Amino acid sequence: MLVSLGTCFTSQIQFENTIEAFCFEIAALMKETEMKRLNMGTAMAVCLMAGAAGSLPAQAQTPATPPIHNIVLVHGAFVDGSGWRPVYDILTHDGYNVCIVQEPLTGLADDVTATKRVLDLQNGPAILVGHSYGGAIITEAGTDSHVVGLVYIAAHAPDTGETEAGNGKLYPAIGRSAIMKTPDGYAYIDPKRYHAEFAADLPTDEANFEAHSEALTWAKVFTTPIVNPAWKTKPVWYMVADADHIISPDLERMYAARAHSRETIQVPGASHSVYRSHPEEVAHLIEDAAAGAANKS
């Protein structure tokens, strides 16, 4: 209340004179009523603080940057957006506006376009999150003006000219041989190996359902080079799945270090399906990103 007094006067001198008169009135009142819980020095200190508040420079009273409420989630290959449900539930409970991209998995350009279409629906800045191949998608789509931060969840983050397949050869993953291909060029995980290689920390029935409801992915997405990586200009947060069989954890750590991740979380024992098996940790990292991007350092 005292701080706002400064806006009620036409000049600083008028304000200071009023504060001085106010201080003497308090002192006289205290002396007259013999107040026991305060003394004269305390009263004068309060008044001095009020005067100092009234003369604070304008920038000190500038409100903090508004928090970021928009989160856009991008799934990876072989799955669809429904896998984000546990993370979605946590984030929406915490007050975030969450949208999930259902990209067609028909090509990197198509999937980036689908992601930007959802970004265009946001009413302000957004955190863009990608899992697995979704990391390549957000690496390209993250240049969109809505995006103020990138979160990679056990995801690829290639540089200009790099491909997922090429980086995967540099850091071979244990279960990559489980990836099969249809005669017309679409990739999928061998259902018999899905649980062990893609989702080892999910319940058997859940992993088996996923294995028989895969979203087949055009195989050439894994050999399409990145053109303009957003992580070079946007802040990054990264989660490493420590027992990932689809992307080598060493490759994930390299991606995080190269992108100068502001916060890198390693989840012990987590499979490639870490976004489903550890939704609390994933949601917490996303919320950290929202807070960190809002308070740029």
pLDDT in tens, 10-37: 344 444 444 444 444 544 444 444 444 4
- For the chain, which ranges sit under pLDDT 50? 1-24, 26-64, 297
**Residue 135: other Cβ atoms inside 10 A:** 28
The answer to whether the beta carbons of residues 141 and 122 sit under 8 Å apart is: no
- Residue 88 CB neighbours (<10 A): 20
Instruction: Tell me how far apart the alpha carbons of residues 103 and 107 are, in angstroms, rounded to a whole number.
Output: 9
* Per-residue model confidence as pLDDT tens digits over 205-250: 999 999 999 999 999 999 999 999 999 999 999 999 999 999 999 9
All residues at 6 or more sequence positions from 279 whose CB lies less than 8 Å from its CB, including other chains: 86, 87, 89, 90
Count Cβ atoms below 10 Å from residue 216 Cβ, excluding itself. 18
Looking at residue 17, what is its pLDDT? 47
**DSSP category for residue 24:** H
The domains of the chain are located at 3-61, 70-294
CATH number of 70-294: 3.40.50.1820
Percentage, residues of the chain above pLDDT 90:
76
Please answer whether residues 115 and 256 qualify as being in contact, where contact means their C-beta atoms are separated by less than 8 angstroms.
no
Closest CA to 101 of 132, 123, 73: 73
**Cα separation values, 140 from 22, 143, 281, Å:** 61, 6, 25
pTM of this structure: 0.79
Residue 67, pLDDT score: 80
Angle at 28 between CA 26 and CA 29, to 5 degrees: 65
